[in-house]
Structure 1
Amino acid sequence: MAFLVAGTLQVASQMADARQSLERKGKYGLQGPRVALILSSPGVLDSTVAVLEGVFRSLGFESCQKREASLQGFLGELAGFREQLDALGGPVGCALVALVAPRGQLRQPQQLVWELNRCRALWGCPKVFLLLSTTPGAAPEPGAFLTGLSQLCGRFPHWSLLQLLTEVFYRTAKESEASYCPVLRSSLRGALCLGDVEPWEPQPEPSLSTHYELSGTRAALLLSVIRGRPGAQHDVEALGGLCQALNFKTTLRTDPTAQAFQEEMAQFREGLDARRVPVSCALVALMAHGGPQGQLLGADGQEVQPEALVQELSRCRALWGCPKIFLLQACRGGQRDAGVGPTALPWFRRWLQASPTTPSHADILQIYADAQGRSSGGPTPGSSDQADILMVYAAAEGCVAYRDDEKGSDFIQTLVEVLRAYPGGELLELLTEVNRRVCELEVLGPDGQRRRKACLEIRSSLRRRLCLQAGLCPLPFRGC
């Protein structure tokens, strides 16, 4: 019995240390072993697997399991990997999984992601998924993405993984002459530094060529349904004030119908293309009720697909090569997340000085890339017309986005708070900090007295670092 209590206290202490580290410095503590797995379908080149092994070693993963399986067997292999980790009997510092398959065949990667996300040993720990597509008959040499990732992991181990990926995206786009760009999806709650270095050492600065140049006009479009959404007006006021402080010329439309969402976006694009002065950045906020499949609902109750609005702006000639930021404050389904983590007695919870649960969708990073670095046909997540886009969802896929009648939404209000405090920070880092703060909140939802958790989803194909106000105070955890 004493052994069980001691073991429980040890695990809880490790989780508390990791959580306090995340809160203090805005980064993951990475206590526990790092585990890695490469799953490849038959026909994947040995050279691709060899480069991945080198990347994993550069990131501090001493051992890496390699398995070849059919696409139908990926789920079973991940289930076995999950069971293996849970059998360790303690927390794992980080998991890194590479899934390699021919282009277009890995059609439901989320099912694979959720299989590993069920792992109890990884509660509150970062889980990184590298989803690589390959082209049959392509040259055996790895493309710009894998080459750049391999080089940078060894040269700049101090950088956070999001910083490394942004630099890799830049190099990939440069080598492919902007015909191709990888994409990442993140619900990380802090900076993830995997290099085997002391976290307090100084961090090298990226080249200035990898920053977006923002000397031109900045334009913002705020589309918000106010009717039937108590507290939404607070979000409009807060976001409008932030845009003004960041020098965005802002257009506001309230209570748009579904058709008006599309018309306003088209007019916004046409207005930017008609400008005689250069445009350097666009910000679009879409705030409304959401449908069961992530649709936006206009003031008339009709649906509009947010992807169609993104595609409309990506056609803007004035914004080619410029960052396009989308903020989506809307439900993406009806799931209410109670969070995951160990159960604990009240005194134990007070001893931890924090909620023992984290959102079940948190701490996941997915990277979609092509092993050969080639563009694919059509508007796929890695094609050039989807580059330079940053999308931030207030809720994870399938989940409810919360809004307070008196204060506004957790996402928008926290976003404004962080950007006003650190206007000179790199935007992906700032958004990770926003997610950390949102994940700490506990919401008493309308479905009863049970507390609920929320988590953002950040999607980025940015090819440069994005700082909305240069030369001002960076985030305190920047040097990781």
Structure 2
Amino acid sequence: MAFLVSGTLRVAAQMADARESLRRKGKYNLQGPRVALTLSSPEVSASIVAVLEGVFQTLGFQSCQRRKASVQDFHGELTRFREQLDAHGGPVGCALVALVAPSGQLQQLRPLVWELSHCGALRGCPKIFLLLSSIPGAAPKPGAFLSGLSELCGRCPHWSLLQLLTEVFCRTTEEYAGATYCPVLRSSLRGALCLGDVEPWGPEPEPSPITQYDLSGTKAALLLAVIRGRSGAQHDVKALGGLCQALGFKTTLRTNPTAQAFQEELAQFREQLDTHRGPVSCALVALMAHGGPQGQLLGADGQEVQPEALVQELSRCRALRGCPKIFLLQACRGGHRDAGMGPTALPWFWRWLQAPPATPSHADILQVYVNAQGSSSRDLTPGSSNQADILTVYAAAEGCVAYRDEKGSDFIQTLVEVLRTAPQGDLLELLTEVNRQVCELDVLGPDCDERRKACLEIHSSLRHRLCLQA
């Protein structure tokens, strides 16, 4: 019994420390060892794997495992890796998994990510996935992404990983058929993640101004909101419209659009920007509606429109070439209600210890999609655009419910509050803070008596810092 109480106290203290560090400083405090795993198919060059291990060592990962397996066996290898971590007997600070396979073979990624997200030793800790596609017959040497990441990790250890990746994306951008392509990241991190050998609470130096997007031109926003049948949606529209005005966006609002009107409004918005007199520097599009079971948006007429089609529409805008395009999606992406991961035994005891609330199952995950050899990065991310300078923020993880009540949605209301507090901040870092606050909320859905969790999902192919107000 004494052993049980001692173990419970130790785990509770660790979880409370992690919660408190994120709340106080907005950074992960990486306690415990950093572990890395490379899974590569037999066709992958040994030189690529060697460079990966060098990157891991530069980032301070003490344990670096390497396993060759067919893509079909990746899931089994990850299961063994998770079991190994859970049997470790102590906290793990961070895990990094590199999956390397020929282009087109890394398609069923969700079960792989899901496997590690259920690791008890990594609860509340960052889990990083590098999803690297290799080109059959291409040069075996690593490309610009791995080389640039390795160089920057050693030279700028004080930068957060999102800052490092944004800089590497800038260096590895490619032009093809009049479009600009670059790697893509998907993040549900709840805090800044600094992997360099630096004091986790030390101040970060200001980045060079040349790394920021130039927003001196016109900033335009389009808000498309289905209000009918969505309690509290009018408060989201009012709050977001006020924020856009405060940030200097020329804003257009359309309420209760049909599915066809969603597409038509985006096309008209693009045409207006292309014919605008003077430079355009940024566009923001907010899509607020009910969502379908596969992540579709439902218009006021109940018909479906794919959000990816709306993103592609604006990515063709000539006036926005090389400029940031922001999409905010407040809609369900499925019907799953996440109970989260956290202590379930002795609830009175956990409350007495002020243990942290459950962590959303999809939180603390960073996925990076890139070509290992640095040739064209087109079609590397299943189901989404790889074009550069696009930032898409989903109010819910894939397959999950996005919560809203008569006061508005957790996502939009928290976003507005955070951006009003620090409008000069880097948007990726601010969105990470928004996610932290949303993840801490306990939600009671309209048809559920049990508390549930929500988590944002951020997709970015930005190549520079994005600060919406100078």
TM-score scaled by structure 2?
0.96
- SS of residue paired to 1:395: coil
Counterparts of 1:97 and 1:458 in 2: how far apart (Å)? 19
Matching residue of 1:290: 291
8 Å contact 1:187–1:457 — kept in the other structure?
Answer: yes
8 Å contact 2:343–2:350 — kept in the other structure?
Answer: no
- SS of residue paired to 2:224: strand
- SS of residue paired to 2:105: coil
Change in Cα spacing, 1:196 to 1:377, as seen in structure 2 (3 Å) is closer
Following superposition, the deviation at residue 351 of structure 1 comes to: 3.6
Matching residue of 2:131: 131
Counterparts of 1:299 and 1:233 in 2: how far apart (Å)? 14
Counterparts of 1:138 and 1:113 in 2: how far apart (Å)? 28
Counterparts of 1:140 and 1:435 in 2: how far apart (Å)? 39
Matching residue of 1:300: 301
My pick for the range that moved more, 53-62 or 231-240, is 53-62
Residue identity matched to 2:46:
D
Matching residue of 1:476: none
Matching residue of 1:477: none
Counterparts of 2:58 and 2:4 in 1: how far apart (Å)? 37
Counterparts of 1:20 and 1:70 in 2: how far apart (Å)? 41
- SS of residue paired to 2:17: helix
My pick for the range that moved more, 306-315 or 380-389, is 380-389
Following superposition, the deviation at residue 379 of structure 1 comes to: 9.0
Following superposition, the deviation at residue 292 of structure 1 comes to: 0.4
Asked whether 1:222 is paired with 2:218, we answer no
Asked whether 1:340 is paired with 2:310, we answer no
- Deviation string, structure 1 residues 242-272 (Cα, Å, up to 9, x no partner): 0000000000000000000010000000000
Matching residue of 1:372: 373
8 Å contact 1:180–1:382 — kept in the other structure?
Answer: no
Following superposition, the deviation at residue 109 of structure 1 comes to: 1.0
Change in Cα spacing, 1:318 to 1:352, as seen in structure 2 (3 Å) is farther
8 Å contact 2:394–2:458 — kept in the other structure?
Answer: yes
Change in Cα spacing, 1:381 to 1:346, as seen in structure 2 (3 Å) is closer
Counterparts of 2:106 and 2:208 in 1: how far apart (Å)? 35
Following superposition, the deviation at residue 171 of structure 1 comes to: 1.1
Following superposition, the deviation at residue 33 of structure 1 comes to: 1.5
Change in Cα spacing, 1:54 to 1:460, as seen in structure 2 (3 Å) is same
What does 1:113-124 align with in structure 2 at a 5 Å threshold?
113-124=113-124
8 Å contact 2:25–2:201 — kept in the other structure?
Answer: no
Counterparts of 2:381 and 2:158 in 1: how far apart (Å)? 32
Matching residue of 1:357: 358
- Deviation string, structure 1 residues 270-309 (Cα, Å, up to 9, x no partner): 0000112110000000000000000000000000000000
8 Å contact 1:166–1:464 — kept in the other structure?
Answer: yes
Change in Cα spacing, 1:155 to 1:383, as seen in structure 2 (3 Å) is farther
- SS of residue paired to 1:200: coil
What does 1:59-74 align with in structure 2 at a 5 Å threshold?
59-74=59-74
Change in Cα spacing, 1:56 to 1:330, as seen in structure 2 (3 Å) is same
Matching residue of 2:167: 167
Following superposition, the deviation at residue 354 of structure 1 comes to: 4.6
8 Å contact 2:369–2:380 — kept in the other structure?
Answer: no
Counterparts of 2:197 and 2:334 in 1: how far apart (Å)? 40
Matching residue of 2:313: 312
Counterparts of 2:210 and 2:140 in 1: how far apart (Å)? 30
Residue identity matched to 2:164:
L
8 Å contact 2:290–2:298 — kept in the other structure?
Answer: yes
CA RMSD of aligned residues (A): 1.8
Change in Cα spacing, 1:316 to 1:263, as seen in structure 2 (3 Å) is same
- Deviation string, structure 1 residues 283-336 (Cα, Å, up to 9, x no partner): 000000000000000000000000000000000000010000000000000000
Counterparts of 1:174 and 1:424 in 2: how far apart (Å)? 29
- SS of residue paired to 1:107: coil
Matching residue of 2:282: 281
Counterparts of 2:192 and 2:377 in 1: how far apart (Å)? 31
| Structure 1, unaligned runs of 5 or more | 471-480
Counterparts of 1:187 and 1:3 in 2: how far apart (Å)? 35
8 Å contact 2:40–2:101 — kept in the other structure?
Answer: yes
What does 1:121-270 align with in structure 2 at a 5 Å threshold?
121-173=121-173, 179-270=180-271
Matching residue of 1:102: 102
Counterparts of 1:117 and 1:331 in 2: how far apart (Å)? 21
8 Å contact 1:443–1:451 — kept in the other structure?
Answer: yes
8 Å contact 1:86–1:120 — kept in the other structure?
Answer: yes
Matching residue of 2:447: 447
Counterparts of 1:236 and 1:64 in 2: how far apart (Å)? 48
My pick for the range that moved more, 197-206 or 288-297, is 197-206
Following superposition, the deviation at residue 382 of structure 1 comes to: 11
Matching residue of 1:474: none
Change in Cα spacing, 1:369 to 1:465, as seen in structure 2 (3 Å) is same
Change in Cα spacing, 1:91 to 1:385, as seen in structure 2 (3 Å) is closer
Counterparts of 2:129 and 2:384 in 1: how far apart (Å)? 20
- Deviation string, structure 1 residues 161-181 (Cα, Å, up to 9, x no partner): 111111111111279998530
Asked whether 1:386 is paired with 2:387, we answer yes
8 Å contact 1:34–1:92 — kept in the other structure?
Answer: yes
Following superposition, the deviation at residue 387 of structure 1 comes to: 1.1
Counterparts of 1:270 and 1:97 in 2: how far apart (Å)? 43
Residue identity matched to 1:2:
A
8 Å contact 2:217–2:279 — kept in the other structure?
Answer: yes
Counterparts of 1:297 and 1:324 in 2: how far apart (Å)? 22
Counterparts of 2:300 and 2:90 in 1: how far apart (Å)? 50
8 Å contact 1:179–1:384 — kept in the other structure?
Answer: no
- SS of residue paired to 1:185: strand
- SS of residue paired to 2:36: strand
Matching residue of 1:92: 92
Following superposition, the deviation at residue 202 of structure 1 comes to: 3.8
Residue identity matched to 2:42:
P
Counterparts of 2:380 and 2:91 in 1: how far apart (Å)? 40
Change in Cα spacing, 1:385 to 1:6, as seen in structure 2 (3 Å) is closer
8 Å contact 2:15–2:356 — kept in the other structure?
Answer: no
Change in Cα spacing, 1:381 to 1:110, as seen in structure 2 (3 Å) is closer
Residue identity matched to 1:169:
F
Counterparts of 1:416 and 1:384 in 2: how far apart (Å)? 26
Counterparts of 1:354 and 1:327 in 2: how far apart (Å)? 32
Residue identity matched to 1:362:
A
Number of equivalences: 469
My pick for the range that moved more, 60-69 or 165-174, is 165-174
Counterparts of 1:298 and 1:62 in 2: how far apart (Å)? 51
